[in-house]
Amino acid sequence: MEAQQAIAEITVTELKAIIDAGAEDYVIIDVRNPNEWEIGKIPNTVLVPLPEIENGNGVEKVKALLNGHKLIAHCKMGGRSMKALGILKQAGIDGINVQGGINAWSEQIDPSIPKY
């Protein structure tokens, strides 16, 4: 069975509504690389690069961050975060992928974030 088909997704508009509502029952992780994180980030996100999740260290980091909260993950366009969520799912952590990642955020929510 392909694990990725079971991963839920939300749009950047839905994500902004969650952030704007000040909801505290979730953690948003950004699985891009640190140099991409420096270019621009979605508010309230925590950097956990995909390579860290792939080597297992990031899985433990995410478990510690979650502490009973829901997980939302994003990357540049949605592919790496989907991969990260697949790995996390195998570790027993369910999460929601942000469709279109920070590119969609830049286009639809915050044009001050540069596209790269």
Q: What is the pLDDT of residues 60-90, one digit of tens each?
A: 999 999 999 999 999 999 999 999 999 999 9
Asked if 31 and 39 count as a contact pair (C-beta separation under 8 A), the reply is no
Q: What are phi and psi of 97, to 5 degrees?
A: -95, 145
CA gap 49, 16 in Å, rounded: 22
Instruction: Domain 3-108: state its class.
Output: alpha beta
Q: What is the pLDDT of residues 93-110, one digit of tens each?
A: 999 999 999 999 999 999
Q: What are phi and psi of 34, to 5 degrees?
A: -55, -35
- Is the pLDDT confidence value at 3 over 70? no
